[in-house]
Amino acid sequence: MADPIELDPVDTLGAGAVGEPGQREFYLQARKERAQLTVLVEKEQIALLATEAVAFLDRIADEYPEEGIRLPTSVAELQEPTVPLFRARLIGLGFDPERELVLIELRERSSDGEDEDQNDEDPPVPVAADEEDGFVARLYATRSQVRAMAARGAAAVTAGRPPCPLCDQPMDPAGHRCPRWN
C-alpha cells in the first residue's frame, strides 16, 4: 500500500460542483501551502457528508465546545484546477480531541477489495501490489472549516436541477418523463 496522503492541518477545505446541472461533477478539495488535493465524489456522498459532518460536530460540541469563529461559505469554494487525483469510494469522519481537529478520510477502494464498478461477468483486473488498496487521503481541519465545507457542499447539491413534484426525480429544462404520469 502506498503511503497515505496527509494534509495536517489543511489551510482550506472545500466542496462543490463543476458543470451544468445534469452534467456536473462533484469534488472535495483541500489545500496546504502550495499543495492542492482534489478528489472526485458522488453527489450523494457530498450530501451525506454535509449532513453527517454537521450532526457529528453538534454531537461532540458538549464535550468539546467550539470557539465562536464561523467562516463564510466562500472560503470553501473550489479552486482551479479541479483535476481529481482519484475517486473516493469511502469517506470517514473522526476527531482528534488533543488537537481539536476533525479528520476526513477519503479512500479510493473499499476495505473488502470490491470495486462497485466491476461487473461480476468481467474478469478481474490485475493490480500491482502497491496499488491494491488505492489512494488514501487524510485531511485534518478545524471545525469551522468543516462547517463551511458542509454548507458549501449542501448548497452545491441543491443548486442542481429542480425535483419533480410528483416523483422527486430531477427535471431537465427541456422536460421530464415522469413515471407517475403513466
Note the pLDDT of residue 3.
85
Mean pLDDT of the chain: 86
Torsion angle of the four alpha carbons 21, 24, 30, 33, in this order, in degrees rounded to the nearest 10: -90
- Residue 144: pLDDT above 90? yes
3-class state of residue 129 by DSSP: helix
% of the chain beyond a pLDDT of 90: 62
Q: Using alpha carbons, select from 3, 35, 32, 37 the residue that is nearest to residue 15.
A: 37
Question: pLDDT tens, 92-137?
Answer: 999 999 999 999 999 998 665 444 444 444 444 444 434 467 999 9
Domain boundaries, the chain: 5-181
Spell out the residues 6+ positions from residue 49 whose beta carbon is closer than 8 angstroms to its own.
Answer: 15, 28, 41, 91, 93, 104, 150, 153
Percent of the chain with pLDDT over 70: 86
Helix (H) or strand (E) holding 156, with range, is: helix 143-158
| CATH number belonging to the domain at 5-181, selected among 3.30.2450, 1.20.120, 1.10.3470, 2.60.40 | 3.30.2450
- 69-92 pLDDT tens trace: 888 888 999 999 999 999 999 999
Predicted confidence band of residue 9 (pLDDT cuts 50, 70, 90): very high
pLDDT for 132: 62
